[in-house]
Amino acid sequence: MVRKALSDKIIVLGVDGMDPSLTKRFMDEGKLPNIKKIVENGAQRQDLVMLGAHPTVTPPLWATLATGAYPRTHGLTCFWNQSKEDLDTMVYAMDSRRCKAEPLWNVFASGGKKTLVWHWPGGAWPPTLDSPNLHVVDGTQPCAINLGHAGIDWEKLIVASNEFETVKYQPYAVTDTGAGCVITDVEGHGGSGAADNLDTLNSTKEVINIMLSHDDGDLALEKIPFDLVNSPIKDPVGWKNAPEGAKEFTIITSGGFVRRPALILKNRNNEFDRVAIYKSKSEVKPFITLKSDELSPLISDEIQVEEETFIGARFYKVLEIACDGSEVRLWMSNAFDVNNDEVWHPKSIYKDVVENIGYVPPISMSGGNDVELTEKTLIPTWEKHTKWQADAMNYMIEKENYEIVFSHIHNVDSQGHLFWQLAKTRDYLENDEKAYQKFIEDVYIDTDRYLGEFMHLLDKGWSIIVTSDHGLLVSDEHPPLIGDPFGVNVRVMEELGYTAVKKDENGNDIKEIDWEKTKAIATRSNHIWINLKGRNKTGIVKPEEYNDLVVKIIDDLYNYRDSSTGKRVISVALRNKDAEVIGLGGPECGDIIIFLEEGFNRCHGDSLSTVNGYFDTTVSPLFIAAGQGFKKGFYTERVIRQVDIAPTIAILGGVRMPAQCEGAPVYQIFEEEF
């Protein structure tokens, strides 16, 4: 079906984790001029709020935005879906073949509209329509383009000192002392927690993660480790061209396989103020020279992965150079394989973007509870990435003459997982909440700059929709050990007597479920499964006991209290069939669906979509619309639901509704009456 289009050019600017409450606060304070211009020329609610679907998790909500269908219908029900074979196993959800609802981009492309889908982490990859009208970039993971396929070397912190005697390398170092760390003060990363979660997310289709503490799950992302190198500083030996007075140290890359020699250089005042990095001591010139506290441009170098050599692009930054040359601290970003075009369709658009805009810039995943790394590496690399993405998209829009663009960027959410919770003073962290509140503001200012890169499209007759999947909370209390998206949540269900884990010979808990003693387990953000005979191969609960057990678990969850405050931590607990009223339920959801009480939440995922947090945060998503076809300077009182966005875009673009669409167009914001 083809209907009259209200607009010939449409762009959806999706910002993962963008919060309408903070957006309005910073906009009203004059800090977001581009968003203010869009709002003043657009149509939306006064509070910028959209009523989000559930769960408040990235893949299901981007799928809802694309299809107009609730998660019950499209089938993506958390960051991971549940294995049908094993209750403790999760399966990869960001695979378009798991999405059971038709995405709107297929409707546009099959209707003859030139369509770009840019890093949409919910039902976009691999492309499900074979059409020359459809171009798709990534969508296999949410964080950043190419992160899941082109990452070939992890972030590194090099600490060089004249007090060290030998070069030491520690992969995935975990430290409480921040960026001034020494290997004797760190604990080697042994195979569980945030870094392995990231690696697993990017490399496998199934995962088992039995979470016994917060270090096994979402909150561990605040302290994602980096590779740590300690190197002695010495007088130069064996160099072909070492400047007079220089000192040398060693950098280790390629997962510990490759060494790069470096020199600390003096200025005219006889003070050390630069670092020059060489591929070998026989080289006459360095491949990069760095001044203190300056982020380098994107630098290419050979990266060795086992027996294969790649060209990787990464950033460098000297955090500190002692003026007497006695100490250097140097940070290196992760490295992306510059020739990896696996998640670009057609592959030719990757080459086009790289040749005309530049390599995909890697983003930092370190920072979190380290103020220095957050300020000097995390936020600046994201600012590089948002600028690159805007430039790349604008280049492709101009060159390819797209008629509709569906885009997503993850700068707010990715940084939110690393430090949003630190924007409130935590007794156990000794964090400076004001510093992190300023970092949150910085992220929103960069997001405003990013959105401003597309303002010129309004003058060319485009329609712009700015939206998000969810906001991000700064919680009041520490969350309970239930509701974490990264695996099986043991402790609360263990306290209630429903889940048991096995023990080693010393009586210590091990990360393995004792199925003979387990009646139910909590998995992912919101799901509790009964260990049911006849359905689950580990089942011990008889079918005739099922209904009474479900009711008993719900009773116990409502009666469960936080040990520190005495407050209830479960806000809502629903039977599977009752969860249909909020767009959940069905075979991809647990026997019980739960949400945590306001105040006890992680930054998103475990709460209802209406929950608010500290520092004016909310988990609600955002909706703003401006340009061709929309009223100008208009505010509606209508409740705009997440399922309403796809049909609204369909009306705007003059195409049929997606086949499984369950929402309704936001008629009130159109210039034309319906």
Q: Are strands 327-332 and 316-321 parallel, antiparallel or unpaired?
A: antiparallel
C-alpha 539 chain-centroid distance: 35
CA proximity to 110, closest of 128, 126, 129: 129
- Taken as a whole, the chain contains a residue count of 674
The phi and psi torsions of 76 (rounded to 5 degrees) equal -95, 115
pLDDT at 660: 99
Tokens at 531, concatenated = 């260990």
- Strand partners for 483: none
Q: What is the DSSP letter of 109?
A: H
Q: How far apart are CA 471 and CA 23, in angstroms?
A: 10
Q: What percent of the chain has pLDDT over 70?
A: 95
pLDDT at 427: 83
**Cβ atoms 274, 265 nearer than 8 A:** yes
pLDDT at 428: 80
H or E element at residue 137: strand 134-137
Residue 36 CB neighbours (<10 A) = 17
Sheet holding 134-137, edge to edge: 344-345, 134-137, 115-118, 404-409, 10-15, 463-467, 623-627, 42-44, 634-635
Q: How far apart are CA 314 and CA 194, in angstroms?
A: 22
pLDDT of 463 strictly over 60: yes
**Cβ atoms 128, 393 nearer than 8 A:** no
- The CA dihedral of 46, 49, 51, 57, to the nearest 10 degrees, is 170
Tokens at 431, concatenated = 């964090």
Q: What is the mean pLDDT of residues 42-55?
A: 99
CA distances from 193 to 17, 172, 218, 220, 532 (A): 23, 11, 9, 6, 30
**Cβ atoms 205, 141 nearer than 8 A:** no
Q: Give the global pTM.
A: 0.94
Tokens at 496, concatenated = 């209630």
pLDDT, mean over the chain = 94
- Segment 346-366, tens digit of pLDDT: 999 999 999 999 999 999 998
C-alpha 408 chain-centroid distance: 11
**Cβ atoms 660, 104 nearer than 8 A:** no
Tokens at 527, concatenated = 């799901």
Tokens at 173, concatenated = 């170092």
Report CA torsion sign: 218, 221, 227, 231.
Answer: negative
CA proximity to 527, closest of 606, 471, 582: 606
Greater confidence, 457 or 428?
A: 457
Q: How far apart are CA 52 and CA 610, in angstroms?
A: 8
Confidence of residue 2 (pLDDT cuts 50, 70, 90): low
**Cβ atoms 281, 272 nearer than 8 A:** no
- Segment 164-220, tens digit of pLDDT: 999 999 998 755 444 445 554 433 333 333 334 444 444 458 899 999 998 888 877
Q: What is the mean pLDDT of residues 376-391?
A: 98
Within the chain, which residue ranges are assigned CATH 3.40.720.10?
1-144+363-674
Residue type, position 444, single letter: Y
Residue 187 CB neighbours (<10 A) = 12
Q: Are strands 463-467 and 623-627 parallel, antiparallel or unpaired?
A: antiparallel
pLDDT at 1: 55
Q: What is the DSSP letter of 378?
A: I
pLDDT at 619: 99
Q: How far apart are CA 222 and CA 370, in angstroms?
A: 9
Q: How far apart are CA 580 and CA 514, in angstroms?
A: 31
Q: How far apart are CA 224 and CA 139, in angstroms?
A: 22
Q: How far apart are the first and last CA of the chain?
A: 18
- Strand partners for 337: 312
Sheet holding 299-305, edge to edge: 151-153, 335-337, 308-314, 299-305
**Who contacts 237 (Cβ-Cβ below 8 Å, separation ≥6)?**
248
Report CA torsion sign: 43, 25, 11, 664.
Answer: negative
H or E element at residue 310: strand 308-314
Q: How far apart are CA 487 and CA 466, in angstroms?
A: 32
Q: How far apart are CA 104 and CA 52, in angstroms?
A: 18
CA distances from 93 to 52, 83, 99, 488, 561 (A): 19, 11, 8, 16, 32
Confidence of residue 224 (pLDDT cuts 50, 70, 90): low
CA proximity to 147, closest of 343, 331, 390, 305: 343
pLDDT at 368: 85
Q: Which residue bears the tokens 């739960």?
A: 594
Q: How far apart are CA 287 and CA 251, in angstroms?
A: 13
Q: What is the mean pLDDT of residues 62-76?
A: 99
- Segment 523-562, tens digit of pLDDT: 999 999 999 999 999 999 999 999 999 999 999 999 999 9
pLDDT at 222: 65
pLDDT at 369: 86
Residue type, position 246, single letter: A
pLDDT at 196: 43
CA proximity to 379, closest of 445, 300, 451: 445
pLDDT at 225: 74
CATH architecture of 1-144+363-674: 3-Layer(aba) Sandwich (3.40)
**Cβ atoms 315, 299 nearer than 8 A:** yes
Confidence of residue 15 (pLDDT cuts 50, 70, 90): very high
Q: What is the DSSP letter of 155?
A: -
